[in-house]
Amino acid sequence: MEVRKRRSRSLDEEGQEEKMKKIHVEEKPNNEERPLEDQKKSPMEKTSKDKSKERKKSEDQLEDGKKSPMEKRSIENGANKRMRSEEGQLEDGKESLRKISEDEKKSPMEKRSIENGANKRRRSEKGQLEDGKKISEDQNKRSRSPEDPLEGGSKPKKLRVDTDRPAPLDIKNYRFYSELASGGFGQVMLASYAPTKQLVAVKIMKKKPDKSNFAIMMKEARLLKVARGCTFLCHSYAAFQSELEAFLILEYASGKSLMEMINRKGNLPMGRIMFYTAEMVVGLQFLHSKGIVHRDVKPDNTLVDRDGHIKICDFGLAAEGIFDEERTSGVAGTPGYRAPEVLLKANYNAGVDWWSFGITMYQMATGRLPFSPTGSIVRQYYAIEKNKPNYPYYMSQEMLDLLPKLLEMKENKRIGVNGNIREHSFYRTVIWEELENRRVKSPFQPGMPSADDFTECQQTFSANVRKEETNLEDFSYVDPNWEGQG
């Protein structure tokens, strides 16, 4: 009995000792040091540790036996999920091996084709991603205040040229038929405005790369607006531009020019000369009242409209701002029509227009120029100074009196500058108010042909303005009173 008690006590002491060792082992923080410590342990300690593991296992089994059915099912489900996940990974691995094996069997061409397809898909996905980023950035930019610098915004830029043009400002809405005139400025084409089939004259001016003719084109478009105030000046319906050209849409004078009339008839009757030159007087006086000197008055620039009335055209060489004592300079105009002061390269005023007007009147009466237009400007000047015009016998006394006053060498004595030309006896039968309102019947009325009477010819022009350096600022306009625009 006493032996049994001693053994029992010995076993209890060993159990307590084992428990203390177990607690001591569990409290060690560094698990990596355990293998080294295990080597240092005695065989008895190792045996004791193995027994403790077996006891722990039995205790875990006992605890599992105490768990509820629901807890057991939850544990089983978790274990099953882990097993299925491991099985799925195993299947994926097998599938990858199968694909690798199949790829190895494919020819190099097939491999390249597959790689190209994959690369295209990757580039497409990358492009879509970048597009998405751009759209997002654009939306962010639009959401910012355009005037708030703190938000990175800026003031909206002014558009150079409207993308959606009104119909009269689109060259595609015009049909071209024939050339009416041409020169250093460009050319004038007979055309029609397609929506209404109205015949018009289109002046086409090429833009020079060095912009040297930009000011001339801008000036002419500007003066054509001023010209609307006088019925005897050529009117414009619209002005617009393309990348390389500038267009002026003008009224079409179906009676052609006085030059063509002179060429057909040789010389004109006195009554017709009086009528046409009287209307020219009204037109020139209107320009001069606006400070404009035409500087290229001649029969070629004097047209006859459908009703037989005069239209002075071509303001490309005109000078602006010539009021009172103001003067301008420069050798402008056409040889044979230039005033002496222009040939001398002196400063001059509106008197140069009255000289050119006198040359035109003489040419209408005789069919020729009074002075030679050939040679240098010095030679032309001496031809005027030394030679007197030959006045035919059939000229009326009134014309014989008027012409020398117009062709006066000294501009300050020239009629038009010195004295009112309307009061000269040559125009004694003219009722100026009736004339200004176009109530005086013209010598003949050319009428207006139909656009259907002409054959269209194709014309090619450049696209709309895209570059700031080729843009004529504030050039385009449409006459709001243009009835033919539809």
Please give the residue that has the higher pLDDT: either 172 or 147.
Answer: 172
CATH superfamily, domain 167-252+448-480, is: Phosphorylase Kinase; domain 1 (3.30.200.20)
Catalytic residue among 296, 300, 314, 479: 296
At the top level of CATH, which class does the domain 256-447 belong to? mainly alpha
Read off the amino acid at residue 190: L
Q: What share of the chain is helix, strand, coil (3-state, %, to 5)?
A: 50, 10, 35
Domain ranges (residues) in the chain: 167-252+448-480, 256-447
The upper half-sphere exposure of residue 470, i.e. CA atoms within 13 Å in the direction of its Cβ, equals: 18
Task: Decide if pLDDT at 387 tops 70.
Answer: yes
Q: With the C-alpha atoms ordered 394, 400, 404, 407, is the resulting torsion angle positive or negative?
A: negative
User: First vs last Cα of the chain: how many Å apart?
Assistant: 135
pLDDT tens figures, 16-32? 455 444 444 444 444 44
| Tokens 């599938």, located at residue | 95
Q: If we measure between CA atoms, which residue out of 362, 380, 364 comes closest to residue 372?
A: 380
* pLDDT at residue 35, rounded to an integer: 40
pLDDT tens readout for residues 352-370 = 999 999 999 999 999 999 9
Q: State the pLDDT at residue 15.
A: 52
Query: What is the three-state SS of 287-346?
Result: HHHCCCECCCCCHHHEEECCCCCEEECCCCCCECCCCCCCCECCCCCCCCCCCHHHHCCC
For strands 310-312 and 477-478, give the pairing: unpaired
When pLDDT is cut at 50, 70 and 90, the band that residue 218 belongs to is very high
- Across the range 219-246, mean pLDDT stands at 95
Question: What integer is the mean pLDDT of 148-164?
Answer: 41
The pTM score is: 0.67
Does residue 119 or residue 47 have the better pLDDT?
119
Pick 267 or 149 by higher pLDDT. 267
The rounded mean pLDDT for the chain is 79
- Catalytic-residue membership of 296: yes
Residue 394 has pLDDT above 60, yes or no: yes
